[in-house]
Chains A and B, each alone.
Chain A
Amino acid sequence: MTELMTIHNSFHQSQYNHVLQHDTSSLSNTNTLPARIPKLRAQCANNSYNNVISSVSPSEASSSPDLAAIRLLASYCQASSTSSPTDKILSEASTLATSHADNVNVQICIGTLLAKAGEYESALTLMKQHQGSLDVVALIVQTYLLMNRTDLASKECKSARGFAQDALLVNLSEAWVGMREVNHSLSFHPSSHTFVCFSTLIYDSKTGRGEISTSILRL
């Protein structure tokens, strides 16, 4: 269990190479898949989409919804990075979202995929079926931030704080939201037009916010 915790923490700290270097050969059979998924997600985060696609064979994907989900995510990222059509991938993703909505890795990977595709509502419908998964909560927060619904993102953080206290992902989620809440309150400051311009500059140039949201979407 602690092995898995270490892998997850490294992942959430964006230490993707640590995740990949982690030796998981000694893990028991039941932990093989839970350790493999974050490794495949780390490869996606490193833009190594083809490695994921070649390491998960189509037959493996057809027998495991978890692997099917990560393979679809990698295929989607690969296709959109080369501006190739994504319609077929999106429709397969929607099918998987319906048939295995209660699978946490389907929620994570397909939720990420749908949010990346701008299908925020379907992403949220799928992810909201989670059973106390902080990974999914963090992705829900990110999706709300992408939708500019800082209020809902903040609510989500508060409820996560209720059941997860001082978890790393909750701290990170609150920090992401905090960076946006300020921006929001400042842009309505009536007396400072110059500041509004300045704030728009930072906001739009997707400095932190952009980076943070993309990094979260890679979770």
Chain B
Amino acid sequence: MTRKQGGEKYQQAYYVFEELAQASSTQSVNTLIAQAVSEIHLGRLPEAETALGQALGLDGESADALANTAVLNTILGKKDEVESAVTKLSAVAPGHVFLQETQRRKEAFDSASQKYTPKFEP
């Protein structure tokens, strides 16, 4: 519903990235990732999964492809896949911005949650 508001821009960006990513003479890891990200925004998750798979096929250690795979699988609710992508990312690029940002948010959540006492019903 809300996507309608800006869907056109994502669609236009998708055309640019897809054109480069899907022709063998111009294909690269980065354009495949860009295509996948525009597909995530357009809500085309299976297509995004395919594109990220292609990116990892070209370079299984691409830090950005791994980070985006973690995000996509979070949206899809595939916990195990998220974990394996994050583990691999931590090995190839321990300082990746994705890891830094998730860590920062974890800490912010922990410090905020300290203000509350959880109550568990027996």
List the interface of chain A (C-beta within 8 A of B): 13-16, 81, 83, 171-172, 174-176, 178-179, 181-183, 185-186, 189, 192, 195, 201-202, 204-212, 214-215
Interface residues of B in 94-109 (CB under 8 A from A): 95, 97-98, 101-102, 105
Determine whether the beta carbon of B26 is less than 8 Å from that of A13: yes
Alpha-carbon distance A204/B104, docked complex (angstroms): 11
Question: Nearest chain-B residue to A14 (Cβ)?
Answer: B30
Residue from B10, B64, B102 in contact with A182 in the complex, judged by beta carbons closer than 8 Å: B10
Determine whether the beta carbon of A13 is less than 8 Å from that of B28: yes
Residue from B40, B97, B105 in contact with A202 in the complex, judged by beta carbons closer than 8 Å: B40
Beyond A178-B13, A205-B67, A212-B34, 14 additional contacts (C-beta under 8 Å) are A13-B20, A15-B28, A16-B28, A179-B13, A182-B9, A186-B3, A202-B41, A205-B70, A205-B101, A207-B37, A208-B34, A208-B37, A209-B37, A212-B37
Q: Mark B17-46, 1 if CB is under 8 A from A, else 0.
A: 100100000111111011011101100000
Determine whether the beta carbon of A202 is less than 8 Å from that of B71: yes
Alpha-carbon distance A204/B70, docked complex (angstroms): 13
List the interface of chain B (C-beta within 8 A of A): 1-3, 5-7, 9-10, 12-13, 16-17, 20, 26-31, 33-34, 36-38, 40-41, 64, 67-68, 70-72, 74-75, 95, 97-98, 101-102, 105
| Dominant secondary structure of chain B at its interface with chain A | helix
Alpha-carbon distance A189/B4, docked complex (angstroms): 12
| Dominant secondary structure of chain A at its interface with chain B | helix
Residue from B9, B26, B30, B40 in contact with A207 in the complex, judged by beta carbons closer than 8 Å: B40
Determine whether the beta carbon of A179 is less than 8 Å from that of B31: no
Determine whether the beta carbon of B16 is less than 8 Å from that of A174: yes
List of B residues within 8 angstroms of A171 by Cβ? 16
List of B residues within 8 angstroms of A15 by Cβ? 26-28
Q: Do A206 and B12 contact each other (CB < 8 Å), given the known contacts A15-B28, A189-B5, A212-B37?
A: no
Alpha-carbon distance A174/B26, docked complex (angstroms): 19
Determine whether the beta carbon of A185 is less than 8 Å from that of B97: no
A152 CB → nearest B CB, Å: 17
List of A residues within 8 angstroms of B41 by Cβ? 179, 182, 202, 208
Question: Nearest chain-B residue to A213 (Cβ)?
Answer: B97
Residue from A175, A206, A214 in contact with B16 in the complex, judged by beta carbons closer than 8 Å: A175
List of B residues within 8 angstroms of A201 by Cβ? 71, 74-75
Determine whether the beta carbon of A208 is less than 8 Å from that of B40: yes
20 residue pairs of the A-B complex, CB under 8 angstroms, read A13-B31, A15-B28, A83-B95, A171-B16, A179-B37, A179-B38, A181-B6, A181-B9, A183-B6, A189-B2, A201-B75, A202-B71, A207-B37, A207-B71, A208-B68, A209-B37, A210-B64, A211-B68, A212-B30, A212-B34
B71 CB → nearest A CB, Å: 4
